[in-house]
Each structure stands twice: as structure tokens, then as C-alpha cells.
Chains A and B, each alone.
Chain A
Amino acid sequence: MEMTRKKTTFSERWNLRKTWPLHVFLLPSVLLLLIYSYVPMMGIVIAFQDYKPYKGITGSDWVGMKHFIFMFQDERVVQIIANTLIIALSKMVMGWIVPLLFALLLNEVRIAFFKRTIQTLVYLPHFLSWVILGGILTDMLSEKGLINQFIAGLGFTPVFFLGDGDWFRVTLVVSDLWKEFGFGTIIYLAALAGVNPSLYEAAEIDGANRWKQTINVTIPSIIPVGVIIATLSLGNVLNAGFDQVFNMMNPIVKDKAEIIDTYVYQLGLTQASFSLATAVGLFKSVISFILIAVTYRMAVKFANYRIF
């Protein structure tokens, strides 16, 4: 055994002779992330400054926690945080239950043609943007719109979907559900397709009818996936959906519909309160990060889920 330690060069230590192309492959991505992801992260310091664009980050005055203190003393901000939580949590709960139920029902369809057609149709809205859907839904849900014509036709009074704060929240949640529930079923359907058929055969021999099979075989099989989805979605508790709210909101419902993201946009880019907007955004990012870290740990621990 040779005990003399050979001196390794930098290139040998990093195996560069063989792997330098791999570093080259990564270089453009690394540069772009550095500029457009990491530099903005440094830019967060303007939340602690009175940032003036003509003075730049190095020249602006430091003000410590001023903007954060202002933020929590502002009643409007508290209301906006509450709006965000209410809307996001309702969407999360609905977005968890409905795809699960829909996947269970779809799993019972034995005719392949029906199953495929239904899947094609329900996935579609996911691919349309809230700009398009916001335009169509604003029209359909308006006072004289299609939905209210239908409601009136059934003999009920029209509903102010977009002109009443509480109804507006319901509209946000239901339309988001409508857009995304189909896409959400994909992962459950994949899990259901992976269930071992012999489990059903065994259950059938034991005399289980379809309902019993669902309770004792199907549901236990997709619970792990359901747990992962629910856990990971907790990281979105402050994401109430900027695109949707921005495109469907109107001044009448602003009190109950303004969310953190739309507020940051309004503060920062229409009122040019750069520092305050960054502070509000930072507050949101910190909470979200903590939630993501905690839920990811939970997912690893309880469901053995890993990104890599």
C-alpha cells in the first residue's frame, strides 16, 4: 500500500479533465439565476431603506424597521392579510377535496372512450390564463350575464357575483376550483392506476361489493398521495392567486378582495412606494418560506416524499 500522499491539483480534485463540459452546460443557467434571482434577493434590503431610484441602493437612507412597523399599524394591511388567508385557505380545502372525489368517481368509469373524453375536457381550463377566463367570466357572471339569466329563468333573484364582497370571494373560490380541479385529478388517477389489481380480486373473493372495495382498497391506496398534496399545498397559504384576483377585482369589492400580491403591485408599481411594497412582499416571503420548510420536513417524515 502506498502511503505517500500525492499532491492533487485543483483540476484533479474536481475531476475537471472529464467534467468541464458539465460546468460549461450549467454556466448560462447559473449566470441567469445569479442576475435575476440572487441579485433581487440582495435587493430586499430596500425594505429597510427609504429607497429612491435616483439614489440607488447604496445611496438611499437606512430606516430600520420603519416600514414593517407602519405596515402592522395600518388597518388596511391587517384586512388584506385576512382576505389573503380566507381566500387562499378556502381554495386549498376545496382544491384538495374535489379532485380526490372526482378521481374516485372517474376511476369507476369502465368505458375507455368516456374516461378519455372526460379527462380531456376537465384538464382544459388549466391551460387558459386568468386574463382569458377573467374576461369570459366577468361577462357571464355580470348582472345581465348568462348565469344570472339562468338563475332568473329558474325564478330566483339575480346574484351580484362581482359586485358584492362576500359573493365575490365565493366567485373567486368556485371559479378557481372550476379551472384547476381537473388538473388536480391527474396525480390521483396515476396513483389509482398503480393499485395492484390482485387486491381487488382478493376483496371480491372475500365477498366485498364495489362500495366495500372502494372503502377498503381504493381509498387507503391513495391516502399517501392525498397527504403529500395537502402537506405541500400549505406552503401556498399566502398565495391567493394574483392573476385571478387582479383580473376579476373591481373597486366595489376591493375591501374584501384585495390580497397581499395585488397590494404590493399597487403600492410598488402604481404608487412608487418601493420600500413599503418590498417590506410587505418580504413579510409574505418569510412566512411562506417557513411554511414550505416545515411542510417539506413533514412530507419527508410522514410520506417519505423527496424532491430529488
Chain B
Amino acid sequence: MYYKSPSYRLFNFLNILFLSLISIACILPIVHVLAVSISDSAPVTANLVNFWPIGFNLDNYAKTFNSPNFLDAFTVSIIRTVLGTFISMLLCFTAAYSMSKDDLYFRGRTFYAWFFIITILFNGGLIPTYIVVVETGIKNTIWSLILPGAVAVFNVVLMMNFFRGIPKELDEAAQIDGATHFRTLFQIYLPISMPSIATLSLFTIVGHWNSWFDGMIYMEADKQPLATMIQALVKNMDFTRVQLNPQDIKDLSERGLKATQIFLGALPVLVAYPFLQKYFVKGMTLGSVKE
């Protein structure tokens, strides 16, 4: 057997070592920002904190949570994520159900499919979309963050492919028992498609939580979501300059505070991620690799 040979054992050892190093490199930046956020401010200013906190200090967190701006932005993000994900998933689920039906039974399916697909291939681009959002009067409301992207065509296609894999007999049995489409969708399809829903919800949740650009162009400063607020913060910090003037030194002492807000911006994703990981790996391959 090959895996008992000395050369394969050596390869195996080196391989695991190499892969481990690479994977650690994937989380080091997060570890760094966490370390900076909970360290004392003097070593942070002196650039001494690497991956292990020096001292232990939660002042940055206290300051952040006492800041009304942060809490407002956090609330906007939560509302946006919950409402946006619910609406997107409902639309995705109903649209995918309809489009998973046979063309002979559901006349017009092909038309709908093209209607959806065309939006992937063509789009108006930034400026025309911006003008439409302004003209429809949703600028500076939460709806400008939710409605323009509410129909996720890729997710509809993934979910439709999943629905098509469900045995037809299930559908027929429900029909014979007198179930309406509404009932079939919510009492039969919904329970068995939980893994797909979990996967697509994860992507939608993360997408909403991370979106910053629409918040920047559509919302006034006091109504912006957290990601947009953090973006403004990040854009203002500039470590590329060679010489330090007094203003820069002040900025540097605020590094811990910025690190805290950045870390808190990433935290919900970091917390949710391990729980949903098993779903998305399955869900990803579900719609993409076909026999």
C-alpha cells in the first residue's frame, strides 16, 4: 500500500504542515485586529501588538457601545439584514417553485425564465439604477437597501434546480389529496428544502450585512448601516504616509478604537459562519455539479 511507504509518509507530513500554515494565514488578520482591539492603548500606538494582546483592556468596546452613532448604524444593519433576507428568500422560494414546473403544465415558464436570466446578462449599470432608485422615491429609506437587489436570480436558479430534483410523486400525491399550490409550497416543499434555504439564507444574510456601497450612495449619514459607517472609517485611515505629523499620532492612538469597530463589524459573520458551514458546502455543490 502506497501510504505506508516512507516517501509518502514524508510527503504527507510536509503536506499537512504546509496546509496548516496556509490555513492559519487565512485567519491571522482577524486575530491581529482582535488583539489590537483588546490591548492597552500604549503598546498599540507603539506598534507592538501582533497576534497576542498586550495588556487587557475593554475600554474600546465600552466606548464603541456607548457611541450612539455605532448603535444606530448597528440597528439599521440588523433591520436591513432581517427584513431583506426574509423578503429575498420569500421571493426566491415562490419564484423557484413556479419555475420548477413543467413548461407543458405551466405555460409561460420559458418566458419567465428568460425574463429572469436577461437581468443577469444585461444591466443598466450604476447611474441609471441610481436614477431609478431616486425616481421611485425610496432614496434615504431602508427600502433602497432592500428592494433593488431583492430578487437574487442566481439563488432562484439554484433553488429551482433543487426543486426539480424532488420526486414528482410527492407533488402528485399532494394534488390528489386536494392540496393547492400554496399548500404544496409551504407544507411540503418548505420542510424538505431546509438545507437549501439555510445555504441561500446564509449567503443573503452575509450579503446584506456586508453591503456598504448602497448605504453610501442612497442613505444620508445618520441612517447608514454599519458596513457603510465602517467603510467611511477605513477610508479615512491612511498609514501610507512616511512622516508623522501630530494629527497622525492622534489617529494612531485611535487605532484600537477603529480595530474594535472593524472587529465588531465582522463579528456576526464570524459567529454565524461555523454553524452554517456544513450546509453551504452541500448547498453549493448541489446546484453546480451535476451527474
Contacts and interface: CB of A to CB of B under 8 A. Distances in A.
A307 B118 CA distance: 13
Nearest to A194: B289
Interface in A69-97: none
B56 interface: no
A204 B8 CA distance: 14
A37 B24 contact: no
A132 interface: yes
Given A23-B108, A139-B237, A43 B131 contact: yes
Contacts of A194: 289
Interface in A171-217: 178, 182, 186-187, 190-191, 194, 204, 209-210, 213
Interface string A9-48: 0000111001101110110111011011111111110100
A15 B116 contact: no
Nearest to A284: B125
A110 B1 CA distance: 14
B230 interface: yes
B167 to A, nearest CB: 19
A264 interface: yes
Given A14-B107, A105-B19, A30 B230 contact: no
A269 B237 CA distance: 22
A146 B32 contact: yes
A28 B91 CA distance: 7
A26 B95 contact: yes
A149 B210 contact: no
Contacts of B122: 41, 285, 289
A123 interface: yes
B226 to A, nearest CB: 10
B285 A281 contact: no
B94 A39 contact: no
A214 B228 CA distance: 47
Contacts of A134: 234
A234 interface: no
B129 A29 contact: no
Nearest to B5: A209
A277 B126 contact: yes
Given A23-B108, A131-B227, A247 B234 contact: yes
A225 interface: yes
A186 B281 contact: yes
Given A19-B106, A41-B123, A282-B125, A25 B97 contact: yes
B16 A268 contact: no
B105 to A, nearest CB: 7
Which applies to chain A's interface (DSSP): helix, strand, loop or mixed?
A: helix
Interface stretch (B57-65, B190-198, B265-273): B265-273
B29 A136 contact: yes
Interface in B185-243: 185, 206, 210-213, 217, 227, 230-231, 233-235, 237-240, 242
B255 interface: yes
Given A22-B181, A269-B217, A40 B128 contact: yes
Contacts of B47: 144-145, 149
B206 A135 contact: no
Given A127-B269, A265-B126, A277-B126, A118 B20 contact: yes
A118 B19 contact: yes
B274 interface: yes
A28 B1 CA distance: 60
Given A15-B105, A307-B157, A30 B115 contact: yes
B265 A278 contact: no
B239 A44 contact: no
Contact of B136 (A14, A35, A146, A268): A35
Contacts of B16: 109, 111, 114
A44 B195 CA distance: 39
Given A36-B147, A139-B255, A278 B127 contact: yes
Given A42-B124, A210-B8, 6 more contacts: A21-B182, A36-B133, A109-B12, A125-B26, A178-B25, A268-B127
13 contacts: A15-B105, A28-B91, A32-B147, A33-B119, A37-B123, A43-B131, A111-B16, A136-B32, A138-B234, A139-B36, A143-B242, A146-B32, A210-B2
Interface of B: 1-3, 5, 8, 11-12, 15-16, 18-20, 22-27, 29-30, 32-33, 36, 47, 50, 91, 94-95, 97-99, 101, 105-108, 112-113, 115-117, 119, 121-133, 136, 147-151, 156-157, 160-161, 180-182, 185, 206, 210-213, 217, 227, 230-231, 233-235, 237-240, 242, 255, 258-259, 262, 265-266, 269-270, 273-274, 277, 281, 284-285, 288-289
**Closest 9 pairs between A and B when the two form their complex, measured CB to CB:** A40-B124, A43-B128, A142-B239, A281-B125, A129-B210, A121-B23, A135-B234, A25-B94, A22-B98
